[in-house]
């Protein structure tokens, strides 16, 4: 729109003064100039500002005269809608041209300018950071103080699964399986320790064993009473008890000598001993089974001694120093496995080593794992000066195998027997002295044994057994256990300057011990 006509004034469009002038200037025919926004040329929107006032400074330029500044203040806005005033038929807002100047001779439009956003200062950023840290610290501290204990079980399970999935991803990618692995070790504090629970569980199953016997004095033809005490383990509710053979040896040998009394004392009935019978005993493994006439006894639970690891918890329960200290509990660890120690008559036992205190009287008691399961039968201790914490126990897997056989057959079934006793004083020096070959000197032959039937005699020197040269009973036993009763073995002996080869059929060892 180039021309505008308001009332009696005609306006002409003036060219912009410069390229940056975005408004169009209009020159009134009567000499008045005003500025209009080009974006709404020719548009006069309806508005009603009856209650609004505004103040605007208008520059009025008269033709040929100086510029005057007319202050229009508190001008009352007039409502219009692109129509002519009913009071004036001309294109004006009033009958008076002066009124037209005051009320409608200029054009205005309200435009909101965008507010300028101020960049935050460094001080404001520091304040925000400090306040955020304080709030964050308060929230984290409150979590660990109050919320973490309540959600620990569930969070523990979540993180365990998360860690596990990470380990699987490492493995599947072909990297080191241990790379990134996190092991979480948790020590749970409870009111009762593991040892307390073990003692409570197993102590009722550990009994006291007492043997009283009489010995004769050949000098004064008088008898004296002796006593030995040890420990035992209830292995069946109907009165079967496992112990060491040396604990009941005096009662076992009473078959061939004076009478002996074998008694069992239960922890719950210390003032009421039970008389016991020997079911069977095996001196080679130092194990025996006895029985009392009782029912509903608390039997122990067996563990697996083949799976023992060095450093595992080991708890010993027994009667050290006799029944006065019945039910004593000592604690240690598994110090070693498959330890071989010598026992009487040149025999050896393969045992568990522990530093749990084992003293005389503990023999026949239980060595237990962290679950309260029996893993060994306490049997020996190295008591020499300068040694401490060297206790030994028979592995329960071997002990159970022997005692099961004793309960069923009264002896260890399937064990081959040669049937000789050797002279331990015979050695290489003696052999050279008498100019005889080195071997095993037979001191005695068991009647009706394989050696007896095969022709072996006392005084023979066994130089070979089953085709192998031998110089000790232990070497014969190692070869013998590879056979079963009934097998025939070639035995080479030196007798009176001759070397003989005898065919010996091994018999079965029925070392029955029964009262």
User: What are residue 98's phi and psi, to 5 degrees?
Assistant: -65, -40
The active-site residue out of 282, 286, 460, 509 is: 286
Contact 251, 243 (CB under 8 A): no
CA–CA dist 198, 272 (Å, integer): 25
Integer angstrom CA distances of residue 201 from 300, 304, 368, 373, 438: 9, 18, 11, 10, 55
| Cα atoms found within 13 Å of the Cα of residue 234, Cβ hemisphere only | 25
Number of other CB atoms surrounding residue 237 within 10 Å? 12
Residue 268 annotated as catalytic: no
Integer angstrom CA distances of residue 50 from 69, 71, 87, 124, 424: 26, 20, 18, 45, 137
Give which of 18, 17, 42, 15 is closest to 26, Cα–Cα: 15
The active-site residue out of 228, 246, 422, 507 is: 246
CA–CA dist 39, 33 (Å, integer): 19
**Residue 390: alpha-carbon gap to chain centroid:** 29
Residue 363 annotated as catalytic: yes
Could you give the angle at the alpha carbon of 268 between the alpha carbons of 251 and 199, nearest 5°? 95
List all residues 6 or more positions away from 54 whose beta carbon is below 8 Å from its beta carbon.
75, 77
The active-site residue out of 228, 328, 363, 507 is: 363
The catalytic site residues sit at 246, 286, 363
């Amino acid at each position: 729109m180039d021309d505008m006509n308001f009332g009696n004034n005609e306006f002409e469009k003036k060219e912009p003064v410069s390229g940056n002038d975005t408004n169009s200037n209009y020159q009134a025919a009567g000499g008045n100039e005003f500025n209009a926004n080009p974006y709404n040329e020719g548009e006069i929107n309806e508005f009603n500002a009856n209650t609004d006032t505004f103040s605007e400074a208008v520059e009025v330029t008269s033709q040929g005269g100086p510029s005057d500044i007319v202050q229009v203040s508190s001008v009352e806005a007039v409502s219009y809608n692109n129509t002519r005033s009913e009071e004036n038929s001309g294109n004006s807002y009033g009958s008076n041209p002066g009124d037209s100047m005051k009320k409608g001779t200029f054009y205005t439009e309200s435009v909101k300018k965008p507010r300028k956003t101020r960049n935050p200062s460094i001080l404001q950023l520091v304040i925000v950071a400090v306040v955020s840290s304080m709030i964050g610290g308060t929230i984290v501290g409150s979590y660990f103080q109050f919320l973490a204990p309540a959600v620990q079980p569930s969070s523990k399970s979540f993180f365990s699964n998360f860690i596990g999935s990470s380990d699987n991803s490492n493995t599947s990618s072909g990297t080191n399986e241990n790379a990134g692995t996190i092991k979480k070790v948790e020590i749970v504090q409870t009111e009762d320790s593991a040892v307390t629970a073990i003692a409570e569980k197993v102590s009722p199953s550990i009994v006291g064993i007492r043997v009283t016997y009489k010995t004769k004095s050949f000098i004064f033809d008088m008898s004296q009473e002796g006593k030995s005490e040890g420990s035992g383990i209830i292995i069946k509710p109907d009165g079967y008890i496992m112990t060491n053979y040396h604990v009941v040896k005096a009662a076992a040998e009473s078959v061939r000598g004076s009478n002996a009394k074998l008694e069992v004392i239960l922890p719950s009935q210390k003032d009421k001993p039970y008389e016991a019978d020997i079911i069977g005993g095996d001196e080679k493994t130092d194990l025996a089974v006895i029985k009392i006439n009782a029912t509903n006894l608390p039997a122990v639970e067996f563990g697996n001694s083949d799976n023992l690891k060095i450093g595992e918890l080991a708890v010993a329960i027994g009667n050290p120093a006799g029944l006065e200290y019945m039910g004593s509990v000592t604690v240690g660890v598994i110090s070693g496995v498959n330890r071989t120690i010598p026992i009487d008559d040149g025999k050896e036992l393969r045992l568990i080593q522990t530093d749990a205190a084992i003293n005389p009287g503990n023999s026949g008691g239980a060595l237990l794992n962290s679950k309260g399961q029996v893993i060994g039968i306490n049997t020996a201790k190295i008591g020499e000066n300068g040694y401490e914490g060297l206790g030994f126990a028979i592995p329960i897997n071997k002990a159970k195998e022997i005692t099961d056989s004793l309960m069923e057959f009264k002896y260890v079934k399937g064990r081959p027997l040669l049937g000789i006793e050797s002279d331990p004083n015979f050695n290489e020096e003696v052999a050279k002295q008498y100019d005889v070959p080195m071997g095993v000197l037979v001191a005695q032959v068991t009647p009706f044994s394989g050696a007896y039937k095969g022709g072996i005699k006392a005084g023979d020197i066994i130089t070979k057994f089953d085709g192998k040269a031998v110089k000790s009973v232990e070497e014969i036993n190692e070869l013998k256990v590879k056979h079963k009763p009934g097998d025939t073995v070639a035995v080479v002996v030196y007798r009176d300057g001759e070397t003989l080869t005898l065919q010996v059929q091994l018999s079965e060892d029925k070392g029955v011990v029964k009262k």
